[in-house]
Amino acid sequence: MERNDQLALRLLAELQRLAGLAPGTENAARVTIRSATGEYLGEAPLTQRAADALTDAVSAFADYAEAMPADFEAGTQAPTADGTDIDPLLAAELEEHCIGLDTEYLMSVATQDPRKAVDEFDEITREGEL
């Protein structure tokens, strides 16, 4: 499967996950996803709250793209060791998710007791989950 199709399917899966968080709620919008060649991949109904949040997220991303156009030029992202292009922040987020690292929680603990936060981090990484 081509990378663009994988991206489109991932977007569809996330939209469907968002849609499934409020079952039984009236839909305000329906998003249809197609591949780069126009092949229908699926759709996701969105509640008003989900549509508002998604619109805000896209708006923020568009603002960023306008402010930092160099970040969106082709070939500006460094390839990884295996030759794929993965955003470093996305890779870090994926790694945190895979090892069960809740950075927001650890940072809140660190503001109260830095040593406890370090101990909890060590416990997670010591379990061989990295």
Res. 41: pLDDT tops 80? yes
- Which of 39-43, 62-66, 120-124 has the highest average model confidence (pLDDT)? 39-43
Res. 54: pLDDT tops 60? yes
Which pTM value belongs to this model? Answer: 0.53
Q: What integer is the mean pLDDT of 44-49?
A: 90
What are the sequence ranges of the domains in the chain?
A: 1-76, 78-130
High-pLDDT (> 70) share of the chain, %: 75
> Phi, psi (5° rounding) for residue 95?
-60, -45
**Residues 117/106, Cβ–Cβ less than 8 Å:** yes
Res. 34: pLDDT tops 60? yes
- Paired tokens of 26: 């009236």
Across the chain, mean pLDDT equals 79
- Per-residue model confidence (pLDDT) at position 43: 92
